[in-house]
Every structure is written in C-alpha cells, then in structure tokens.
Amino acid sequence: MPINLAILTIKKAHEGMLSGAFSAVDLATAYLEEIKKKDGDINAFREVFADVIEQAKKADEKFAKKEGVNPLLGIPFSIKDNILIQGRKAGASSKILEGYVAPYDATVIARLKEKGVVFIGRVNMDEFAMGGSTENSAYGPTKNPHDLGNVAGGSSGGSAASVAADFSLASLGSDTGGSIRQPAAFCEVVGLKPTYGSVSRHGLMAMGSSLDVIGPLTKTVEDAEIIFDAIKGEDKYDSTSFSPVKEISTISPKKIGIPKGLLDMGGIDPEVKANFKEMVLKLEKNGYQISEVDLPHLSYSLAAYYIIMPAEVSSNMSRFDGVKYGIKKEGGNLLEDYLNTRGEGLGKEVRRRIMLGTYVLSSGYYDAYYAKANRVRNVIREDFSKAFTLVDAILTPTAPSHSFKIGEKTSDPLAMYLEDIFTVTANLAGIPAISVPSNIQIMAPHHREDILFAIGKDIEKLR
C-alpha cells in the first residue's frame, strides 16, 4: 500500500508495521525514494547508507518472530554528522575530517541499535556545529524544504530538513546554544534539548563540553518523547550523565511565565511577536495561568555564551591537528604541519571561534572575560531557579525571526549570533527546552521534560 509519509508519526508507523499494512522495508524504501527525488535540491544528506534495506529486513524479521518489538523497531532515522556510528564515516561537515571512520558507537547510537531502528544516513550541519544556518558546512548549505531560497537553520540544519522533507521519520542532532531548536523552528518540526547530562555525550564530537546535549528532531512532541525515553540515562563513559529522577510530581502544569520585557526587545520580527502573542492568548483561554516572571540577568546571556562557548571550542578543537586522524598537510616542521592542516582543513567560522576562545583564556584576560562570564552564568541559573518556584514553565519565541534567505547574514557574524538570543539561556542554565511549531520555545526546570511534553502537546492541539 502507498505510505503517506507527510502524516506519519512513530506511533502510526509502528502500528502499520505491527498490523502488516506495510513492512520496514516498504517504509525505508519510501524514504529512500523521497531522498532520491528531492535531496539534490535540499542537500540534507552527507551520505545515504548503502545497507538501509538490509537494516530494514532485520527489523521485519523481528516483527515476524515477535522478538524485541518496541515503538522504535524499524523506524528510519537520520543522524547528524558529528555523532559516531561504528564503521561509518563521521566528518562534522568539515574538510579536516574527510574520510574519518568512527571506531565505536556513540552511546545514543548503541541505545537506538538495541531498539532496532534503521539508520538512513548522516546529515549535513554547520562545520563542527558552529553556526546557525548550516551555511558553514564545507559541503554547501542545506536548504529549507519549505522554501529552497531560505536556510534550514543550524547547526542541525540537515537533521531538521531531513524530517521536514520526509527523508526520515526522526533525526538526532546536538544543541550547544540552540542548534536543535532553531532549525526545528525554521523547518517547522519539533526539536528537544534535554536537561544537560540526561543524555550521554559519549561519541558526540565535543564543541562546548559544559553546554552540549544530544536530542531528537521529530514531526510531533509525542515522537520526541518516545525517542528521549529511549536514549536518556546514565552512562559510564560520560561522567556528567545521570539516571532519570524517579520522584516527579504528576500535577498538570498550568502556570506559564513570560520573561518581563520580552516583547519590548529590539530585533524581534513583528510576525514572530504577533504569532507568540496569539499562542499566549490561546493557552490562556484553555486554562493556563499566564504571568510575567523576572529574569533580571537575561540580557547578559548572549554575551556570556559567546565567551564560554568559544573558550571551550578552542580547547576541544586542539585535537584536530592532522596527527591522529583526518587530513594532514605537510610542512617543513611540526608547527608548519599544524598550521597547514588547520589552515586548509578548518573553515572561517571555526577558526574565528578558536581565536576568540584562545583570546579570552589567555593570560591577563581570563579573569576579565572567561571567569566573569561563568559568574554571570551562575547568576542566570539562580534567576531561572527562582522563576520556577512561581511557574511550571517559561515561554519565549524560539528565534527572533523566521527562516531567512541563504547568504543574507553570512557577511555579518553578529547578526547571525543574535539568532541565538532566546535559545542560549537554556544551555547556560542546563535546563530542558523544546521548540514546537510555530517558533514557540518552552523551558522547564531541570529533569522536567515531562512538563515540556505536556505543554507542547497542548500547543500542537491549539495551532
């Protein structure tokens, strides 16, 4: 039977395969055909795996034997190019890692393999996850499936586009300052940034180690919840990971906070403001209590983030030197090897952030910049903790604008960085956040993804 990929969810796909209406092979084939038809224009995939049908056949065997049947069995996933899958290439969309093959599975991949998912391929991204439009990929930008003249967002642009274009039913991305949520908003899908540490980072190429989180991009909030439940939990390979909190209140979240002065901020698109106000009114009419909350240091979050993140980038990127893996450009001595390899292998944005990070960590500037930014981060965390004693969740737009034209902001890094203004706070505070269509972000206290799912499902019904 023909499969309508546009209306498919994980639950519907599972029911279809369980009932025999279609097989995992049928489902995988349908996605492969869409990729063949449309990805030449969109450029979501870095690589479509050659063994997709073989993976799907194994899922069908499990369905036939009724072994290991679960909601994710046979579900086609795309994977961001910075998450390792053993024996497959992983390049973070950078020339410096061209040809690199992952020697082990990321923990999230191992957990999805246990569920029997089908990995369709690896998808495009901003180089080493540094960017907000996927224009920093060394292999060309990913275009927005809804408007090919526009960006898909970043850095998980390939992940968001692959779901929006019906190339995969779900995707995994990474979020350091909004890299799951912003492309989700631009491509009109759901993007979840879990609580820091709730999902293992083992096997994710590190960008900002105190900020990075792996999370799902999906068609619906329920799909994001299913995937989060599958990948979350403590991991011996990641010392920052933890087991799920067992005792959680089951009270329905009904109190939503709006940051004081939020809509008076400059740089927010009028359409984004109007859309946000409309959703707030709908929530109020449906029983939610809406109130303003005071987050007095919110205005410092972007500045703090763009000190802390590059500092961690400069440290993490030092391993890419052409000695251990990836390309190597020879020079007259070891220093010239490093300079040639990194100069030719790394793009402009990555080099810019390495230089910024090296500067703020250098002697004489560490206390003035990096140490001060971390103090600001702690104050922002306290602001959120206080706010969450008054409300269950905080609502903002995900991004200050809708998807913009390709090339519109590439010559102005500051304009691009401002796209992160609403998203970076959740990473600084370590709290969970979700973006739901249309361009709405919900933030909740640590470990309370359940609140995000409850409110997110209500917003889906009200659209």
The more confident residue out of 53 and 415 is 53
With contact defined as beta carbons under 8 Å apart, do 181 and 20 qualify? no
| CB-CB neighbours of 260 under 10 Å | 13
Q: Residue 378: pLDDT above 70? A: yes
What are the sequence ranges of the domains in the chain? 1-463
Mean pLDDT of 141-159: 97
Q: Residue 458: pLDDT above 90? A: yes
> What CATH number does the domain located at 1-463 have?
3.90.1300.10
With contact defined as beta carbons under 8 Å apart, do 122 and 81 qualify? yes
**Residues labelled as active-site residues:** 80, 155, 179
Mean pLDDT of 355-372: 92
The more confident residue out of 11 and 418 is 11
- Calculate what percentage of the chain has a pLDDT beyond 70: 98
Q: How confident is the model at residue 223 (pLDDT cuts 50, 70, 90)?
A: very high
Q: What is the mean pLDDT of the chain?
A: 94
The 10s digit of each residue's pLDDT in 3-23 is 999 999 999 999 999 999 999
d(CA 24, CA 42): 25
d(CA 90, CA 352): 23
The 10s digit of each residue's pLDDT in 68-91 is 999 999 999 999 999 999 999 999
The 10s digit of each residue's pLDDT in 44-53 is 999 999 999 9
Q: How confident is the model at residue 249 (pLDDT cuts 50, 70, 90)?
A: low
Q: How confident is the model at residue 340 (pLDDT cuts 50, 70, 90)?
A: confident
d(CA 238, CA 89): 22
CA distances from 8 to 2, 65, 170, 224 (A): 12, 25, 11, 14
The 10s digit of each residue's pLDDT in 290-322 is 999 999 999 999 999 999 999 999 999 999 887
